[in-house]
DNA sequence: TAGGACGTTGGAGTGCGCTCCAGGCAAGCG
DNA sequence: CGCTTGCCTGGAGCGCACTCCAACGTCCTA
């Protein structure tokens, strides 16, 4: 709680803002993917992909002549958006609502935009919260760093 | 996806980074709070407060002569930290682990600091993710804004 | 033609973070 | 004295977002 705050002399290498492992890139020139390919590309499980379809978060997926799902690039685009929305903490039910608006056609542009703007506000609030939390964490980290340093001096 | 991106001419008033409703301030000069007072101060339910204690997220709370909980300012401080950690998405089990380290005394300074630094990394990653998401949302919002404007022109 | 990998379905199960319930005790009030 | 209000307990229940199961079909390769 004391200490010349804000210095963070002991910042670690994790500071670089790496945002997780990079997903395998989408091979181009292709427009029909099996469910396991999509699972690999998105990081979602095949279970989850089927579940998304059942609850209406994805519109009906194309099928092969034997009834197996064949995802298109447009489906992958949609999954990218869903992934982003999921990161915001938006409940799946709300994403389903958005999906329904998209399916309902262009008369819903206004509603879609309103939903996205409300989500945008959520994200901004969330970022602010996280920054506040970061400040608290830095204080605590410095505090413990100081305590350790003092203890080391005692020992020396 | 097209449009002169990045302009956001139609930003709304929700842009101000208000981070939720302000909690009622802690009355000073007081150091014994009933569970419902703490619930009001923290926004947690009394159920949740008792549950936190049961799972070891809070060390044993003082009791009145009739066995009712009496929280101290130190308890409220701890709940503030817990609230921050919760905002980071840290699982309750990890917070319990941190609480155990605190109870274990000063020999755990290093571990506590390591845990906080790892959490700090999580928060940085999370902020990056949210900023990426924000960019996508802004693109979409502008896109729908443009579509609506075009449609209005058609009507006019 | 056999084997194994991969896909299908409806429905049940899981883990997390609460949330609520029933039954009971203690204090304050008219 | 009864009534209300607030708190206590252990344990059951809930909503969300998956996650898995059993039983079966299909594709590919050898």
Q: What angle do CA A86, A134, B139 make, to 5 degrees?
A: 40
Q: Which of B106, B113, B118, B153 is the mutation pick for testing A, counting most A CBs within 10 A? A: B113
Contact with chain B for residue A39, Cβ under 8 A: no
Tokens of A20: 């997780």
Collapsing DSSP states into helix, strand and coil, what is residue A63? Answer: strand
Distances in whole angstroms, Cα of residue B44 to Cα of each of B26, B48, B51, B88: 15, 6, 11, 17
Helices (H), chain B: 35-42, 46-54, 73-87, 92-103, 109-155
Lowest-pLDDT range of A8-12, A46-50, B76-80: A8-12
Contact status, residue A96 vs residue A57, Cβ threshold 8 Å: yes
pLDDT tens sequence across B96-124: 999 999 999 989 999 999 999 999 999 99
Q: Which residue of B has its CA nearest to A85?
A: B133
Cβ A67 to strand C below 7 Å: yes
pLDDT 10s digits, B11-52:
444 444 455 556 777 887 789 999 999 999 999 999 999 999
Q: What is the dihedral of CA B52, A148, A129, B74, to 10 degrees?
A: 40
DSSP, collapsed to helix, strand or coil, labels residue A118 as helix
pLDDT score, position A1: 37
A81–B117 C-beta distance less than 8 A: no
Interface touch B137/A116, C-beta < 8 Å:
yes
> What is the per-residue pLDDT across A113-153, written as a single tens digit (0 to 9) for each?
999 999 999 999 999 999 999 999 999 999 998 887 887 77
By Cβ distance, the residue of B12, B88, B147 closest to A117 is B12
Residues of B 73-132 whose CB lies less than 7 Å from any atom of strand D = none
Q: What is the rounded distance in angstroms from the CA atom of residue A76 to the CA atom of residue B4?
A: 25
Q: Is B116 on the interface with A (CB under 8 A)?
A: yes
The encoded tokens of residue A137 equal 């964490």
Burial A68-92 (b: 16+ CB within 10 A, else e): ebbbeeebbebbebbbbbebbebee
Contact B144 A15 (CB under 8 A): no
A22 compared with A10, residue with greater pLDDT = A22
Q: Does the CB of A22 sit below 7 A from strand C?
A: no
Half-sphere exposure of residue A25: CA atoms within 13 angstroms, side-chain side: 3
Contact B68, B35 (CB under 8 A): yes
Let me know: does B109 contact A144? Beta carbons within 8 Å: yes
| Distance of residue B107 Cα from the nearest chain A Cα, in angstroms | 10
Angle between helices A73-87 and B109-155 (to 10 degrees): 120
Mean pLDDT (chain A, rounded): 85
What φ, ψ does residue A108 adopt, rounded to 5°?
-105, 15
């Amino acid at each position: 709680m004391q200490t010349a705050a804000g210095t963070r002399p002991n910042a670690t290498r994790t500071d670089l803002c790496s945002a997780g492992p990079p997903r395998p890139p989408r091979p181009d020139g292709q427009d029909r993917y099996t469910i396991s390919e999509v699972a690999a590309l998105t990081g979602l499980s095949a279970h989850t992909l089927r579940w998304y379809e059942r609850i209406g978060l994805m519109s009906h997926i194309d099928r092969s002549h034997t009834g197996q799902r064949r995802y298109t690039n447009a489906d992958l685009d949609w999954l990218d958006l869903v992934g982003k929305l999921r990161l915001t903490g938006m409940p799946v039910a709300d994403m389903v609502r958005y999906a329904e608006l998209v399916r309902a056609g262009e008369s819903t542009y206004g509603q879609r935009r309103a939903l996205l703007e409300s989500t945008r506000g959520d994200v901004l609030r969330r970022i602010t919260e996280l920054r506040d939390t970061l400040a608290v964490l830095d204080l605590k980290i410095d505090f413990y760093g100081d305590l350790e340093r003092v203890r080391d001096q005692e020992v020396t």
